């Protein structure tokens, strides 16, 4: 099991590039089940979650190959009886739920393990099942599996909002089912995340008819067949945001390529509010911080709100801001596994329900800490970059799920960080 060793106190300077977006690539890979021809994807990052989705699709009879230049080619079988997504794969990556809609739509049957919960909280799929049932699928839960079937789905109007607003993979699943349904489907309270938009763009390239892309109201005219296509996955706004926050937290001067202004506007607005200088040109954003950041209140919301996937990393920066900040988590109310670990580094944080009060301190002190989930791991790396002394972060396999060799990118910016075998 690997660990990350970080020696803090260095200001990050230089230029790095964000990789392809994990949370766009995963549903787009699942969409290959719908295609009656090969799908060629560019900029698919080489991450643990991508390898898990690859394993899952191969279990479902899809041929997945990586060419020497990194392109990913996916070929779905004409006919197969391999329609079961096993628990042993699903429990490691809940995004596997994205195969459910395509399986029911294209093959007429699916047996997909319920994903279960994870470190950031309960991960229900009731909205996914509600949407599929609205499209005419017969859905049953049997021995921990979702068993779905339908000869041909039919269009329907549905409201897909839940207690925490829209659902990203819920919208993606229903969208991938509706494109082959007979008739018109209207999805209200659809998620508007850039990754959902990228999936919709791929489906349109494959021949789907989708209107309102990027809005909370999607209208789909079902078609009978979808072809393969070629697509370049959008850059990862969460990786880009993590790198920008690392630059800001270390009072550095960091330029991130592949950082799309419209995708990161909530983050850059908060960075400007706390006194960070932010410039942008094309798909590049530069942050410069010459003095201690000010405190600020941050609330996570569905896109275009402040992303929940940057909450932990933002909190790491606020632990050394000047003043008291309140971070409120409206998407995953329990997404605070990083709080205790930051506390071990000297952060003064008090949890109050789905919010935490952060009393900024002058600095943190390096310590041995443990990663618990993907974004909490990134927060601990940022805290280690800021802290005096050495920080050892164990269980970095969590980090590897969503960041491709993050330590290399940070070293290129001047960080003292290395991966060690534990």
Pairing of strands 217-221, 184-188: antiparallel
Give the count of beta carbons closer than 10 Å to the beta carbon of residue 248: 26
Shorter beta-carbon distance to ligand EPZ: residue 241 or 252? 241
Shorter beta-carbon distance to ligand EPZ: residue 253 or 263? 263
Quote the CA–CA distance of 275 and 401 in Å, as a whole number. Answer: 32
Element (DSSP H or E) covering residue 72: strand 72-75
Contact 51, 85 (CB under 8 A): no
Q: How far is the CB of 143 from ligand EPZ (least distance, A)?
A: 20
Q: How far is the CB of 172 from ligand EPZ (least distance, A)?
A: 7
Instruction: Please give the order of strands across the beta sheet that includes 284-288.
Output: 13-17, 253-257, 284-288, 277-281
Shorter beta-carbon distance to ligand EPZ: residue 162 or 275? 162
End-to-end alpha-carbon separation of the chain, Å? Answer: 6
Shorter beta-carbon distance to ligand EPZ: residue 170 or 241? 170
Contact residues for ligand EPZ, defined by CB under 6 A: 23, 26, 94-95, 123-128, 162-164, 167-170, 195, 308-309, 331-332, 374-375, 402
- Whether 118 sits among the annotated catalytic residues: the reply is yes
Shorter beta-carbon distance to ligand EPZ: residue 162 or 343? 162
Quote the CA–CA distance of 215 and 192 in Å, as a whole number. Answer: 6
Helices and strands counted in the chain (H then E): 14, 24
Q: How far is the CB of 174 from ligand EPZ (least distance, A)?
A: 10
Q: How far is the CB of 55 from ligand EPZ (least distance, A)?
A: 16
Which of 180, 179, 216 is CA-nearest to residue 197? 216
Q: How far is the CB of 373 from ligand EPZ (least distance, A)?
A: 7
Shorter beta-carbon distance to ligand EPZ: residue 164 or 211? 164
Helix axes 168-178, 126-134, angle to 10 degrees: 20
Task: Count CA within 13 A, CB hemisphere, residue 95.
Answer: 24
Catalytically annotated residue among 98, 118, 150, 189: 118
Give start and end residues of each alpha helix (H) in 69-215.
Answer: 87-90, 100-102, 126-134, 168-178, 194-205
Q: Residue 83 to residues 98, 102, 109, 154, 200: CA-CA distances in angstroms?
A: 13, 11, 7, 21, 24
Q: How far is the CB of 162 from ligand EPZ (least distance, A)?
A: 4
**Residues labelled catalytic:** 118
């Amino acid at each position: 099991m690997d660990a990350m060793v970080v020696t803090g106190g260095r200001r990050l300077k230089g230029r790095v590039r964000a990789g392809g977006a994990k949370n766009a690539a995963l549903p787009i890979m699942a969409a290959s089940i719908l295609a009656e021809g090969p799908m060629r994807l560019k900029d698919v990052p080489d991450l643990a979650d991508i390898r898990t989705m690859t394993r899952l699709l191969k279990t479902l009879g899809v041929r997945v190959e990586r060419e020497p230049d990194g392109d990913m080619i996916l070929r779905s079988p004409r006919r197969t009886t391999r329609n079961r997504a096993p628990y042993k794969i699903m429990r490691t990556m809940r995004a596997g739920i994205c195969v459910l809609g395509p399986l029911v739509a294209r093959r007429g049957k699916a047996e997909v393990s319920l994903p279960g919960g994870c470190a950031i909280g309960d991960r229900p799929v009731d909205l996914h099942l509600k949407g599929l049932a609205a499209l005419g699928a017969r859905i049953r839960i049997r021995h921990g599996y979702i068993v779905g079937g339908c000869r041909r789905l039919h269009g329907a109007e549905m409201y897909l909002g839940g207690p925490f607003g829209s659902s990203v993979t819920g919208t993606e699943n229903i969208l991938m089912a509706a494109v082959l349904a007979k008739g018109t489907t209207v999805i209200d309270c659809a998620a508007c995340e850039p990754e959902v938009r990228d999936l919709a763009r791929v489906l349109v390239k494959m021949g789907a008819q989708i209107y309102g892309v990027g809005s909370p109201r999607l209208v789909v005219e079902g078609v009978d067949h979808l072809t393969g296509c070629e697509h370049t996955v959008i850059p990862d706004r969460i990786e880009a945001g993590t790198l920008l926050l690392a630059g800001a937290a270390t009072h550095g001067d960091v330029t991130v390529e592949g950082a799309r202004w419209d995708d990161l506007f909530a983050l850059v607005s908060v960075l400007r509010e706390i006194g960070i200088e932010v410039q942008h040109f094309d798909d590049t954003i530069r942050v410069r911080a010459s003095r201690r950041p000010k405190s600020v209140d941050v609330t996570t919301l569905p896109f275009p709100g402040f992303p929940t996937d940057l909450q932990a990393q933002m909190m790491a920066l606020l632990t050394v801001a000047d003043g008291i900040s309140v971070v409120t988590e409206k998407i995953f109310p329990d997404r605070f596994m990083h709080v205790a670990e930051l506390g071990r580094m000297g952060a003064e944080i008090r949890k109050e329900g789905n919010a935490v009060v952060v009393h900024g301190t002058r600095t943190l002190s390096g310590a041995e800490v443990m990663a618990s989930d993907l974004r909490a791991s990134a927060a601990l790396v940022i805290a280690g970059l800021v802290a005096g002394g050495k920080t050892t972060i164990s269980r970095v396999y969590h980090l590897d799920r969503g960041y491709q060799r993050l330590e290399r990118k940070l070293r290129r910016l001047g960080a003292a960080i290395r991966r060690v075998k534990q």
